[in-house]
Amino acid sequence: MNPAIWQGKIFTGSWEFGAAADVQITEPATGETLGTLGVGSSADIDQACKTAAAAQQAWAGTPFEDRAAILRRAAALFEQHEEEIRTWIIRESGSISPKAQLETRHAALESYEAASLPSRAQGDLLPAADPSRISFSRRTPVGVVGVIAPFNFPLLLAIRAVAPALALGNAVVLKPDTRTAVSGGVAIARVFEEAGLPAGVLQMVPGDAEAGATLVANDAVRVIAFTGSTAAGRHVGAAAAKHLKRAHLELGGNSAIIVLEDADIDLAAAAGAWGSFLHQGQICMTAGRHIVHESVADEYVAKLAEKARNLPVGNPATGEVALGPIIDKRQLENIHRLVTDSVASGATLAAGGEFDGLYYRPTVLDDVRPDTPAYCQEVFGPVAPVIRFRTIEEAIDLAKDTEYGLSLSVMSGNAMNAWNVARQIPSGLVHINDQTVADEAHIPFGGVGNSGNGSRIGGAEANIESFTDIQWVTLQQEAARYPF
C-alpha cells in the first residue's frame, strides 16, 4: 500500500501513468488530502478492456489448481496486511475500526471461498439420442467482467465480485468509486499483483459515470457486476440490456425491522440501533423503517433514543467512536433535508437531527406515517423512523409497502410466529431475532423489487451461475453422414 507505488497511477497489470486526470483522496473526517490516484477516461476504460480480453484466454487455460493457489495467496495477503488496509478504510471512508476490520476479514474469506470455485465449475453428462455420440455440458468463463463498486463498503463490495470472477477464469476490469479508490481499488490490485496474478488479467481504473457507461458498453465486457443506488442501477441495467449482456445489480434498500409485542425490547432496541446507525447508516441493508407494535412502541422509542443520544460520534482514526463522518457534504445535506422535511410533516424528533461538519448525530423519529419522507425514502444516513401498528396484518402490509426488497428483520419472543410474519413479505434476506445488516462469504446475496434484479453474488452456485456460460458439446469418433 506504499503510495510511492500507486500515486497518480492506474493499474493495468502494472502501475502506470497515463490516466486522463488525477483525483485527490480526501479524508472525510478531517478534509485532509491523503494522496492522489489516476482517474480513467473513456479511452482508458476501453484500453483496459482490450488488455483484459487479450490476457483472459491464457488465464482461462491456466490449470485450475494454479488459479486456486493464487486466490489462496491473495486471501493470505489480505490477512497479512489487514492493519494497513484497515487504516485506509477508516481514513478514506470514515469507517469505525470494527467495521473496517469486518471488511478486511471478509476480503480474505471471499478470496478463500473463491479458491474453491475453479474445481467446482462442472457440467453434466447428458443423454445422447445416438449411442455412438457423447453429449455433455460444461461451464466456460464469460470472458471479461466489469465490476463497478461503491464507496460505503469499498473493499468488500468489490472483492465479492472480483475474486469469484477471477477464480472462474475471467479477466476483470474494476472501476471503484473515486472517493474510496485506494481501499476499494488499490488494495485489491496490490494484493493480486503480489499473489502472482498474470499481468493484464486485472485492470483497476477509477472513473466517473461516463467511464462506467463506457465499461458497460464495451464489446469485450460480457457481464457487469454493479453495486450502487437504484437510480444508477436502472441506467446500468438498461445499457447492459441494449448490448445483450448480463448485469448483476445489487441496489438500494429501505429495510424494515418489525418489533412484535412479545419481543424483548432491550434486545430489539439494541438491534434497531445497530441496524440503523452502523457506518452512519450508509449501508444498503440499513434498518430504514422500524415497524413497532403500539403496546411497546413508547418503550422502544425511549430506549432507541437513549442509545442514539449516548453514541459517541467523531473521527474514527483518532478516537473510540461509534459513528464516523458522512462520506461528503452532498450526502449529509440530503440526510438533513429528509429529517427536517419529516419533522415539518408531523414526525417527532426523539433524538439527533443535528450535525457538526460531516458528523451527523444518530437520529430517531417518532410518530411517522407511511408518507413521512425519512420513512418512505432511502435515507442512507443514521436515521431510525418509528411507525406503530396494531395488528399483525397491518405490520405485514406496512413492511410490504415499499419499492425495495433487500433485507427484513422480525423481533419476537416466538421465532415461529416471527417466521410466519416474515415469509409473507418479499425480501432477498430475512433475519429472525436479528437486525437487517449481515453478509457472509458463502451465502447468496441479493434483493428483489427495486433492490436488485434477482441476481445473486455469493456462494458457489450463485457465483458459478453469475460468471460462467454453459456450453453444450457433442463428440463422436467419425464424422456424421447427411443426405445433402
Residue 253's CB: how many other CB atoms inside 10 A?
31
Task: List, as own/partner pairs, every contact residues 231-239 make where C-beta atoms lie below 8 angstroms and the sequence separation is at least 24, other chains included.
Answer: 233/452, 236/148, 236/212, 237/453, 239/213
Residues 6 or more apart whose Cβ sits within 8 Å of residue 290 = 256, 257, 259, 272, 276, 300, 304, 384, 385, 386, 387
Residue 49 backbone phi and psi in degrees, to 5: -65, -40
Q: What is the DSSP string of 373-408?
A: HHHHS---SSEEEEEEESSHHHHHHHHH-SS--SEE
* Nearest CA among 19, 23, 337 for reference residue 151: 23
Tell me the C-alpha to C-alpha distance, in Å, between residue 136 and each of 61, 95, 139, 142. Answer: 20, 49, 10, 18
Handedness of CA 101, 120, 285, 292 (dihedral sign): negative
Separation CA 158–CA 457 (nearest Å): 11
Q: Give, for 182, the enclosing helix (H) or strand (E).
A: none
Q: Which residues does the annotation mark as catalytic?
A: 250, 284
Residue 226 is placed in which grid cell? 454493479
DSSP state of 198: P
Q: Which residues contact 424 (CB under 8 A, 6 or more apart)?
A: 396, 400
Side-chain-facing half-sphere of 155: CA atoms under 13 Å: 34
